[in-house]
Amino acid sequence: MTYYYRLGTVPPKRHTQFRQPDGSLYHEELMGLRGFTGVQSLLYHLHPPTQVEKIRLEQMVMLEFEEMGPLRHRHLRTGKALSQGDAISARVPLMANADVCISVAHPTEPMSYWYRFAHGDEVIFVHQGSGFLETQYGILPYRAGDYLVIPTGVMWRMVPDINVAQRLLIIEAQGHIEPPARYLNRYGQLLEHAPYSERDLRPPEHLLTHDESGEFEVRVKARNRITTYLYLHHPLDVVGWDGYLYPYAFNIADFEPITGRIHQPPPVHQTFEAPGFVICSFVPRLFDYHPLAIPAPYNHSNVDSDEVLYYVEGNFMSRKGIEPASITVHPNGIPHGPHPGMYEGSIGKERTDELAVMIDTFRPLQLTRQAVDIEDMQYPLSWRS
């Protein structure tokens, strides 16, 4: 849950006259969730945000899934994924279900337009790269390790730093991505036992108000298509806003791990939740300190979930043959666990330096044809002695 925040100039009272220097009214836009009953923000524009000059269908968006084969564990080497273009066109969708779509992107170009997703929130994990996210809420700098949490309807574009390679993991939800409810008190404040606090959430730093004429493009993804809207005024014309709904950044390095005397289960790593899935952060941490502890995870069956693990960097104590940007997919129905020798080999070790992002989904995922193209076909047999 984000907290109350304000940027720019707003009037003392909502929904009252707020006039520009020439005497005309600023134009309100209320952005809110759950039909006026969720969090919301009120923005003030120089021009009505409804003044569209032209509309055209940009493209249809339909995923191509693999033909159904045997149920198996998967290893995707996403460093081999062919990706070029901007932060949207470079996306390579790898897997999806009715709740979430997981993609990677290695953008090579800046975005020349703004974009919004109409059906849910997005989290963009910045594996590599830096720059800033430009939105109607202001400028939000990003760096490696950041989760960029973008609420549905927010208009944005990524402006990467020149000559800095960009590598992104994109989690597109059909719903809202929020801190786990068990971390919050009844007032919406993060509790003392939560692994991060409001101080770790970075809202937009400053507001840039544009009053320019020309032709400005905004693309909206909705209903399996991307539609282009052309405006004759700059869409980032907000002079002020306040509320609880806005994009923010949270760096994985600010996640404080929860440890114990014996091995802690994956929920202690949970960072966000959404309808149908959760997002977890595995960060450098001290190992279990019981004198007979076994730090490596025990074998387990994902009875109700598919487990997707994106490896960022470090030494992965339970896996062999894994590289940065690898993705493993362990589906429900069959057990998985540490590779041979890793379970016993973890005994006596004091800490791990691994960094990874996990997505657990509660409905089965389907892999795309692009995912199969980069699959390590030997991985399902890698537990052999």
| Segment holding 103, helix H or strand E | strand 100-105
Burial label, 146 (beta-carbon count in 10 A; 0-12, 13-18, 19+): buried
Separation of alpha carbons 292 and 279, rounded Å: 30
Residues 6+ apart with CB under 8 A from 21: none
Residue 51: CB atoms within 10 Å: 12
DSSP 291-320: TT---SPPPEE-SS-EEEEEEEES--TT-S
Q: Tell me which residue has tokens 């021009």.
A: 47
Tally of CA atoms within 13 A in the half-sphere of 105 that contains its CB: 24
The type of residue at 242 is D
If DSSP codes are grouped into helix, strand and coil, which group holds residue 198?
helix
Separation of alpha carbons 92 and 78, rounded Å: 9
Separation of alpha carbons 63 and 205, rounded Å: 36
- Rounded to the nearest angstrom, the gap between the alpha carbon of residue 7 and the centroid of all alpha carbons in its chain is 24
Return the sign of the alpha-carbon dihedral for residues 365, 366, 369, 374. positive
Q: Tell me which residue has tokens 């220097």.
A: 21
Whole-angstrom CA distances from 80 to 104, 205, 372 are: 11, 35, 12
User: Which residues are part of the catalytic machinery?
Assistant: 263
Torsion of CA 132, 133, 137, 138, to 10 degrees: 20
| Segment holding 163, helix H or strand E | none
If DSSP codes are grouped into helix, strand and coil, which group holds residue 181?
helix
266 — phi, psi (to 5°)? Answer: -55, -30
The type of residue at 39 is V
Q: Is 336 annotated in some ligand binding site?
A: yes
Nearest to 326 by CA among 157, 104, 142: 104
Annotated binding site for Fe cation: 300, 306, 336
Residues that constitute the known binding site: 300, 306, 336
> Which residues make up each annotated binding site for homogentisate?
336
